[in-house]
Structure 1
Amino acid sequence: MNASLECDTDAGVSESDKLFRFVVHGVLLNGIGAAGLLGNALAVLVLSRPQMRSSINCLLVGLAACDTALILTSVLLFGLSAVYPYGGALRYYYYHVCPRLTPLAYPLANVAQTMSVYLTLVVTLERWVAVCRPFRAKALCTSARARWYVLATAAFAFAYNAPKFFEAEVVAVGDPAGEHVYCVRAAAAFRTERYVAVYIHWMYLVVMYALPFSALAALNAAIVRQVRRAQAERARLSRVQRRELGLATMLLVVVLVFFLCNLLPLVTNAFEVFLGDQFDNLDPLVKTSNLLVTINSSVNFVIYVIFGEKFKRVFLKMFCAGRARARAGRESPEHTRDDSFASCGERVSLRLARNGTLRRSDARGARVARPRRASPAPTVYYPAPAPSTDVSLASSDAAPPAPPPARNGNSRLHF
């Protein structure tokens, strides 16, 4: 293959720029992306278990799927294509495979990015309802509604990013009948100056940053106030209330990581919108932003393991048989079944046992009183007063705190 054939965008690129791209995308993005794909796959396996079924976990499964799609497209668009310019390997992929993937992979990456941002917002909204409006949680926070929330977010993401399917075009450089390479360039007839100013810059700033960031900040501020108020009364909280407290705290960590990973993309986009040509060399910031997006999409599994007690327990039962057997003596099957990662009005972790009229006969025919379980008590969220329980509260039915995680955001994607 003729090594002199190249795209216009490759001409005049310095060795230092090639090295920076290779380190940031070729090494870090590919490595973190591979770990993120494994972590998201494990997260989906754990969150999909029957004992983990809840509205928040349904949302987190959708978030993990979006993050997986975003990582895959980022690796295909940026990670693998960063190897050839510096190291000389993967030339065929760089000039033949990647250009033909870009018109489809690039808009899909933006769809996954949009879904990730707004599913993070939906997860936060769900936690706000459970923590600050507990009496509406049972109606609003259900698995069936959570599936509709994911579908609605997907529909919005595809509708908003539909124009991106027409932004790029592929051209052949060289002899089309002989030796040639493929290059990607912007569709000049479609990407007019007004289109770039309104849709690429301003709408991106408002839809992807201003609106979700403002809503996330307001909702999490309310959650933090409620968490602090509950922590002051922690000794009087029920087990269910303490579980909700731990869940809210864990999701605050997820949102904090989202903010940190999206801060640089926000600054970069603001530079493009307000300062324009005064910042011509934004390429290093854009490449670093894409790396931060991949990091944000890859770390949720780690947060779940660190802060999610039930997630960690189920994960160890699935993949660490030794630990599972060690815990089996201390936990009954019903304990694991009732302890919900996020109850949100669907799961009941406390059951009341009381003396009822049911009786059974012993071996000698005598009638013996037999405790009867009452119907499940509704989940109570802090800071509501702890539910009164009978002294015969079944300890094997009480569920330890459980934690679910939530999400992620993303940075701007460029090609």
Structure 2
Amino acid sequence: MNDSSCSQSNASSTDGQLLFEFVAYGVLLNLIGIFGIVGNIISMIILSRPQMRSSINYLLIGLARCDTVLIVTSVLLFGLPAIYGYTGMLMAYFYYVYPLVAPIVFPVALIAQTVSVYLTLTVTLERFVAVCHPLQARSLCTYGRARLYVLLILALATVYNLPRFWEVTHVEDFSPITNSTIYTVAPTSLRDNRIYISVYIHWLYFIFLYILPFACLAVLNTAIYRQVRKANQERQRLSRLQKKEIGLATMLLCVVIVFFLCNILALVNNILEAFYCINIDQLVKTSNLLITINSSVNFVIYVIFGEKFKRLFLKMFCSHGRWLGHGGRDSPDGTHDDSLVSNGDGRHYSIRLQRSVTRHASRRQGPRAPSPGPCVYYPKRTHERTHEWDATTSTTVNKL
């Protein structure tokens, strides 16, 4: 009698976990991921326009690229397999494609995660210099330096995550259900090494993907917030350039706040696993969903808080059927002299164009009127033989 009750309870628990996984991954993660990919592509198109050329925008383009990769890997590792687990659909992907791509997609996801974290930190550092030390911004916040930072972060993230390529493999198995050979995901001997798990996966991951970036982001954004608050109190005495810098800093503060909110649960999960050996499956799945949301919503923040980004978005995608700017050339109606950020190479181009347009207009119209003020991603279980692998690694799928 007790054995029967226990079996029914386990079956109900399994069904509940599969349903939660299907809703969180199979439905929400896939839908949010599609929206995020489209939004990131639009962001990259707008931020790469000539009039948007600046150091901060180049960093944001790099962040959008990494977020896109992160979303794609989330869908491949979590979204699509969850559909088969609950509905039985996509069986070919679950048994033949997923086990073969997981050993490559898994470390690529971790590289994109690391790059995304440190690009967010670099964006914050750039804003800290521009807002709190504006005299040094002209020499430190340049387009060339931004390209160097992106390449350096990508190289370091790849080197740091190289061992991940030897953590996961696939094995052959025979399935009586399909009466054919299938493939499953399994850990390698490296992933079973206790010293490797303790030192590299727990401590180094915790320090370099949590403690260091979170502490730096907290300190820098506190300083930026104080400067923004002080500037808002003296707004009447600010120049137009200073107002634009403060507005951009406010927008990026929102980006970082969303970053904190979406990654705090991942931090909690890693603390529970590393120090208390507690693994709560639904919390892990929720944190992975939040990470995908974080990689998908920056476009929305840019549209809400980025005045010029919104103007270009409406002009390129929502103006009388125009698509990708094919409806005509950009007019100098403020789109050239009011970039999302004013430092960098694009500033000089904008000033020259604005002066040229103003000079010709003054010849035609006379006196000029005053211008208005301004995730450790780990493959999920694919077969009964990999349950032990999932039990030891399920909470390390978090992004930060």
TM-score in terms of structure 2 length: 0.82
Q: Flag the structure with larger Rg.
A: 1
CA distance in 1, matches of 2:109, 2:91: 23
In 1, distance between residues paired with 2:261 and 2:90?
33
- Looking at structure 2, the residues matched to 94 and 370 of structure 1 have their Cα atoms a distance apart, in angstroms, of 70
- Once the two structures are superposed, residues 353-382 of structure 1 have per-residue CA deviations (whole angstroms, 9 ceiling, x without a partner) of 8xxxx9x9xxxxxxxx989xxxxxxxxxxx
Runs of 4+ in 1 over 6 A off after TM superposition: 349-353, 391-394
Aligned counterparts, 1:244-283, within 5 A: 244-276=245-277, 279=278, 281-283=279-281
Residue-by-residue CA offset, 1:119-157 (whole Å, 9 max, x unaligned): 000000000010011111111111111111100110111
Partners of 1:92 and 1:171 in 2: CA distance: 16
In 2, Cα distance between equivalents of 1:51 and 1:86: 48
Task: Give the RMSD, CA atoms, in angstroms.
Answer: 2.8
Report the residue type matching 1:319 in the other structure: F
- Counterpart Cα distance in 1 of 2:286 and 2:376: 10
Q: 1:234-262, CA deviations, whole angstroms, 9 ceiling, x for partnerless residues?
A: 01112111111110000000000000000
Match runs of 1:51-200 below 5 Å: 51-174=51-174, 179-200=180-201
Between the aligned partners of 1:150 and 1:393, the Cα distance in structure 2 is 43
In structure 2, the residue matched to 1:341 is: 340
User: C-alpha displacement at 1:171, in angstroms?
Assistant: 0.2
What amino acid is aligned across from residue 31 of structure 1 in structure 2? L
Q: Where in structure 2 are the equivalents of 1:278-297 lying within 5 Å?
A: 279=278, 281-297=279-295
CA distance in structure 1 between the partners assigned to 2:363 and 2:332 by the alignment? 22
Tell whether the 8 Å contact from 1:111 to 1:158 is kept in structure 2 after alignment. Answer: yes
1:22/1:86 contact within 8 Å kept = yes
Distance 1:414 1:144, change over 3 A: same
Report SS of the residue matched to 2:186: strand
CA distance in 2, matches of 1:12, 1:92: 26
* Cα displacement string for residues 74-122 of structure 1 (whole angstroms, at most 9, x for unaligned residues): 0001000001111010011001100100000000000000000000000
Q: Percent identity?
A: 56
SS at match of 2:170: strand
**Structure 2 CA distance for aligned equivalents of residues 370 and 67 of structure 1:** 48
1:189–1:146 CA distance, 2 compared to 1 (3 A): closer
Give the match's secondary structure for 1:173: strand
Residues 69 and 112 of structure 1 are in contact (CA less than 8 Å); yes or no, is this contact kept in structure 2?
A: yes
Change (3 A) 1:81 1:350: same
Quick one: distance in 2 between partners of 1:99 and 1:197? Answer: 26
Q: Report the count of equivalent residues.
A: 352
Distance (whole Å) between structure 2 residues aligned to residue 345 and residue 287 of structure 1: 41
Amino acid corresponding to residue 192 of structure 1 in structure 2: N
Task: Give the CA deviation at 1:13.
Answer: 7.6
Q: Cα deviations across residues 345-404 of structure 1 (Å, max 9, x unaligned)?
A: 541577898xxxx9x9xxxxxxxx989xxxxxxxxxxxxxxxxxxx97873xx885xxxx
Deviation at 1:17, TM superposition (A): 1.0
How far the C-alpha of 1:12 sits from its partner, in A, is: 11
Distance 1:185 1:12, change over 3 A: farther
* Contiguous gaps of at least 5 residues in structure 1: 1-10, 325-330, 361-368, 372-390, 401-410
Matched residue SS, 2:171: strand
Question: What's the CA shift for 1:282?
Answer: 2.0
Is 1:84–1:90's contact at 8 Å kept on the other side of the alignment? Answer: yes
Q: TM-score, structure 1 length as denominator?
A: 0.79
Aligned pairs for 1:3-14 (under 5 A) are 14=14
Q: Does 1:234 align with 2:232?
A: no
Change (3 A) 1:150 1:393: farther
In terms of fraction of residues, the more helix-rich structure is: 2
Cα deviation for residue 414 of structure 1 reads 2.6
Name 1:21's counterpart in structure 2: 21
Quick one: which amino acid aligns to residue 292 of structure 2?
T
Letter in 2 for 1:164: R
User: Which residue of structure 2 lines up, in the alignment, with residue 301 of structure 1?
Assistant: 299
CA contact (8 A) 1:335 1:399 kept: no
| Helix, strand or coil at the partner of 2:169 | strand
